[in-house]
Structure formats: C-alpha cells, structure tokens
C-alpha cells in the first residue's frame, strides 16, 4: 500500500484551476497539474483497502491501489504499464472522467477521497513525456479484417485492441478527424485535441487504417463493409438529441447543443464549418436548457465567446448540497455540483419548465417559463419571462440515428431505440455485426465507451479466432 499512516498524516490536495477571469479569455486547458512530489504524497494516502471500492466503482476496473502504491514508491513507468493494462486512454479519462472511483473511495466517507483522477492523469502525462507510450504493432497478423464504424472512444478502444491482436482494422468516420465526441463535443478548454490526435497517430502506427470523411450508409454501403470484412463493429454513438417541442421552437436562434459545440471545436482546429450558419454567443443573452454536463460545455463556450449573460435552466429540483453518505456510498451520489463552466458566471435556476418561445421577425427574443413541482406540474401564478437571443438545448440524447445503416441492416432495437446487443458477445441481430458504446448502451460516459470498446474487441477476437487473449 502507499504509506501505512499516509491517510492520517497527509491532507487531500487536488489540481487547481486558473482563475475564472483569466481562463475565459482563451479556449485552452486551465488545470494546474500538481508537482510530481505532491502527486506521490497524494498516492501515499491510499489505504490499499481489503475491498477496494474505487476499483469496483471504475467501469474499466483500473487497478487503482496498485498504481497508487507504484507512484508512492516512485516507479512511474510500472504505474503507467499497470494503468494501460486496463485503460487505453488514461490521459483522456484523467481529464474528462467524472471519477466515479473517487465517489467510491473509502476515504470519501469523510469527503476526502484519494485524488485518483489527478494521479491517473499525472501517470499518463508523464508516460507521454518520457516516451514510454509507443506503438505496439502485433508480432503476427491473423489475416482477418474488421471494419469499425465510428471513431469515438468506443471505436478507438476497440480498434486499438483488435489491431494489437493482429487483425486488419479499418475505422470509418463521417467527420474529418477521428475522436467522436472527444474531438467534436467536449470543448478544448476541457481537453485540447492534440491529446486525441497523438493517440490516433499511435494507432495508425499499430496498423489501424482511418477512413475519415466517410459516412457509412451514404458514401460507402454498409453491405459492402459487411461483405468485405470478417466482422463489422458499429460504434456510432447516440446522436439523436431530445427536443423541446413547445410553441416557437422553430424561431431562429434556438439550437441543439451539438449544433453549437462542434462549430467552436472546428474553429479552433482551423477546420471549415461547412455548409452551416455560424452560431456564436458574442453580445447575446444566452439561455441553456438542461442542467447536465453538455449544458455546462455550452456555458463555458458561450462565456468564452463573449456572451452578455448565460442562464441555465433545469426542470429537476435543486439537488441537496451534500449527500447522505450512509445511504449513497460507494455509489455515485445525487448532489449539487458546480462545474468549472458554471463557476465562470452562469446563473442557474431549478424546477423551471419552458412553456414557449417568443420573438420578432422570426428570431427568438424571450422564453416564457413557469416553476414546477417535483412531478413537473406547473405551480399556480409562477409564470415568468427570460430574455434570450440564443437558446441552446442540452437535454440529453434519445438514441442512435436509425435512418441509414441501422435501418438498412434491419437491426433489432431495444425499447429505448438503442441497437440491441448484450454486454457479453456484443453481437447484434445480424451474425457479423457487433455494436458497442453509446449506440448500444445509450448516452453515457467516455469511460463506459472505453469499457464497451475493449469488451467488444474481446468478443470479436473470440468470435473470429475461437479464443482470445484480449482482456475484457
């Protein structure tokens, strides 16, 4: 374990952020890494619990107590090897994961969990700096060909695992660059895109062929992919957003979050926006509908673009400031969280329903809202108005796009509209076609997508070869 008395002697420290007034002037990452000796001290707080709840709380079962100990002992290279044995992209989860491991940590019973995410990120960043991360091409090829549609974290993790197992892997991506929501959804201020690009470079050197700007079902037939490969893995994400079908929805100035966010990521990357109307928040009163993380990303982006004001509306009641640990631990608790973007100056309001949008000359100017009770019933005399020049809808995603390859293949869907496949063999209703990530599981997290990609790779390797050495 770390230091036997570490958790008694050492206070929890975590990464700090550049002040809001500074960081909103740019779109770069703003987290200040802890100095290396402090990371080792933090790792020393780990108690190497008999039942490591952190390990169970992590969807990819990162061996957290083991690498905490290695970091405490100063063997960072072994820590990086250990970390990569369960996680293809720890520098990504080290930046954007909400860290269910920390919620599950035994020391979280006292609100002072081990700074697991910070330690993970430090290990992975150091591994890149020291060039310990290198391509790992397979020593033998199997002669089998696998097509992967979609290059989000699920597709990338599966591609890396399958290429390392010796298969010829082709990744098809409709966007210009690989990464899925890592590249086009998550803003640069949470994760700069070179973090994703260098992984794609590593994977190309391991034998993965990326076919970008290819929309399967439009530019390439899914039946051709099925015919020309031994297996096809669909990792197309959950791209159909939940809409707000109230009067005035068709006014100009009301957009889905995923119409807005990718534009800014493309601007920063110098990628053309294409044939779309630019959406910008500068000089505007912005209302974000939806209180989750996508909403927060809209807030941070709008503030950096120079919005006059940003208000975030949530229909759910305000959660408690603190969870009741004895009821919730080691699970992810519902409690009031303030994201870095919200802390940059957004006004938040809860238990609010939008009844209609109103405007002039076809453009949105205001929202007519009302307060609701816990069953979303409107409270009497609670109607109020909110000015808005730009409204961003961030109310989650329903299911993957059905038009195109899903319908063409006639895949069986779940009741919620995801592609039906279990989490053992990941096989869809079609023999050679597999599905993983948000497309199978529904809207989720990067770490879950990595898990799905790894497990689907295990299942496909086994289906193709009769056995597999890939971990699940």
Ligand X SMILES: Cc1cc2nc3c(=O)[nH]c(=O)nc-3n(C[C@H](O)[C@H](O)[C@H](O)COP(=O)(O)OP(=O)(O)OC[C@H]3O[C@@H](n4cnc5c(N)ncnc54)[C@H](O)[C@@H]3O)c2cc1C
Residues that bind ligand X (CB under 6 A): 96-97, 149-155, 172-175, 180-181, 185-186, 190, 215-217, 235-237, 257-258, 261, 293-294, 297, 404-405, 437-439, 444-447, 449
65 touches, from ligand SF4, ligand X, none (C-beta below 5 to 8 Å by class): ligand SF4
d(CA 381, CA 272): 48
Per-residue binder mask for ligand SF4 (CB under 6 A), 288-327, x = binder = ----------------------------------------
For 398, other C-beta atoms within 10 Å of its C-beta total 16
One residue of 44, 96, 105, 133 binding ligand SF4 per CB under 6 A: 105
Nearer to ligand SF4, 103 or 288 (CB): 103
Query: Does 49 contact ligand SF4 by CB under 6 A?
Result: yes
Binding segment toward ligand SF4, per CB under 6 A, in 12-20, 41-49, 335-343, 408-416: 41-49
Binding status of residue 114 toward ligand SF4 by CB under 6 A? yes
Q: Which does 219 bind (CB under 5 to 8 A by kind): ligand X, ligand SF4, none?
A: none
The neighbour count for residue 352, using CB atoms within 10 Å, is 22
Question: Crossing angle of helices 446-465/153-164, nearest 10°?
Answer: 30
What is the rounded end-to-end Cα distance, in angstroms, of the chain?
A: 26
Binding partner of residue 296 among ligand SF4, ligand X, none, CB cut-off 5 to 8 Å per kind: none
How many Cβ atoms sit within 10 Å of the Cβ of residue 85?
12
The entry of ligand SF4, ligand X, none near residue 330 (CB within 5 to 8 angstroms by kind) is none
**Is residue 53 within the footprint of ligand SF4 (CB under 6 A)?**
yes
Nearer to ligand X, 34 or 445 (CB): 445
Q: Alpha carbon 28 to chain centroid distance?
A: 18
Q: Is 70 or 446 the residue whose CB approaches ligand X more closely?
A: 446
| Residue whose CB is less far from ligand X, 387 or 444 | 444
Min dist CB 219 to ligand X, Å, is 8
Considering CB distances under 5 to 8 angstroms, the limit depending on partner class, which of ligand X, ligand SF4, none binds residue 222? none
Residue 281 binding partner per list ligand X, ligand SF4, none, with a CB distance cut-off of 5 to 8 Å that depends on partner kind: none
Output the smallest distance, CB 299 to ligand X, in A.
Answer: 11
Which span (40-48, 117-125, 236-244, 396-404) binds ligand SF4, by CB under 6 A? Answer: 40-48
The reply to whether 54 sits near ligand SF4 by the rule CB under 6 A is yes
Q: Which does 438 bind (CB under 5 to 8 A by kind): ligand SF4, ligand X, none?
A: ligand X
The answer to whether 280 and 305 have CB atoms below 8 angstroms apart is: yes
121 binds ligand SF4 (CB under 6 A): no
Our finding on whether 204 is near ligand SF4 (CB under 6 A) is no
Q: Candidates 61-69, 234-242, 314-322, 411-419 — which segment interacts with ligand SF4 by CB under 6 A?
A: 61-69
Name which of 52 and 185 has its Cβ closer to ligand SF4.
Answer: 52
Shortest Å, Cβ 325 to ligand X: 23
Could you tell me the smallest distance in angstroms from the CB atom of residue 442 to ligand X? Answer: 9
Angle (CA) 367-369-370 rounded to 5° is: 175
Cβ atoms 384, 369 nearer than 8 A: yes
Point out which span in 30-38, 48-56, 278-286, 363-371 binds ligand SF4 (CB under 6 A): 48-56
Stretch that binds ligand SF4, among 10-18, 46-54, 296-304, 315-323 (CB under 6 A): 46-54
| CB 40, min distance to ligand SF4, A | 14
Which range binds ligand SF4 by CB under 6 A, 26-34, 44-52, 70-78, 171-179? Answer: 44-52
For ligand SF4, the closer of residues 29 and 120 by Cβ is 120
CB 401 within 8 A of CB 408: no
Beta-ladder partners of 169: 146
Angle between helix axes 76-84 and 116-129 (nearest 10 degrees) is 110
**64 lies in the site for ligand SF4, by CB under 6 A:** yes
């Amino acid at each position: 374990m770390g230091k036997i008395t570490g958790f008694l002697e050492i206070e929890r420290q975590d990464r700090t952020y550049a002040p809001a007034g500074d960081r909103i002037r740019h779109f770069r990452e703003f987290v200040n890494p802890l100095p290396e000796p402090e990371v080792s001290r933090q790792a020393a707080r780990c108690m190497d619990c008999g039942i490591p709840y952190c390990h169970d709380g992590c969807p990819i079962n990162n061996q957290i107590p083991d690498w905490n100990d290695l970091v405490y002992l100063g063997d960072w290279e072994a820590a990086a090897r250990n970390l990569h044995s369960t996680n293809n992209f720890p520098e990504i989860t080290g930046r954007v994961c909400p860290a269910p491991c920390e919620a599950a940590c035994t020391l979280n019973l006292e609100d002072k969990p081990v700074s697991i995410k910070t330690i993970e990120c430090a290990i992975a960043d150091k591994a890149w700096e020291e060039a310990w991360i290198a391509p790992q091409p397979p020593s033998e090829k199997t002669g089998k060909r696998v097509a992967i549609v979609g290059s989000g974290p699920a597709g990338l993790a599966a591609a890396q695992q399958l290429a390392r197992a010796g298969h010829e892997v082709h990744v098809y991506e409709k966007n210009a660059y690989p990464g899925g929501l890592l590249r086009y959804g998550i803003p640069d201020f949470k994760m700069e895109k070179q973090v994703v690009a260098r992984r794609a470079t590593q994977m190309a050197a391991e034998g993965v062929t990326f076919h970008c700007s290819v929309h399967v079902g439009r530019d390439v037939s899914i039946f051709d992919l099925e015919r020309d490969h031994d297996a096809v893995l669909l990792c197309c994400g959950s791209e159909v957003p939940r809409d707000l079908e109230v009067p005035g929805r068709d006014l100009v100035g009301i957009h889905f979050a995923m119409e807005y966010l990718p534009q800014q990521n493309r601007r920063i990357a110098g990628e053309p926006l294409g044939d779309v109307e630019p959406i910008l928040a500068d000089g505007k009163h912005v209302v974000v509908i939806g209180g989750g993380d996508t909403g927060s990303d809209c807030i941070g982006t709008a503030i950096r673009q120079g919005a006059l004001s940003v208000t975030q509306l949530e229909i759910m009641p305000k959660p408690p400031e603190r969870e009741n640990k004895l009821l919730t631990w080691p699970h992810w608790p519902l409690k009031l969280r303030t994201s870095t973007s919200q802390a940059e100056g957004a006004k938040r309001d809860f238990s609010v329903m939008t009844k209609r949008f109103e405007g002039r000359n076809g453009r949105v100017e205001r929202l007519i809202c009302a307060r609701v009770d816990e069953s979303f019933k409107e409270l009497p005399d609670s109607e109020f108005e909110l000015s808005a020049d730009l409204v961003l809808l961030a109310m989650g995603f329903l299911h993957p796009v059905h038009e195109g390859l899903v319908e063409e293949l006639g895949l069986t869907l779940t009741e919620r509209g995801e592609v039906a496949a279990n989490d053992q063999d990941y096989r869809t209703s079609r023999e050679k076609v597999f599905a993983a990530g948000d497309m199978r599981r529904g809207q989720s997290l990067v770490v879950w997508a990595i898990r799905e990609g790894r497990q689907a790779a295990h299942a496909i390797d086994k289906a193709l070869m009769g056995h597999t050495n890939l971990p699940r």
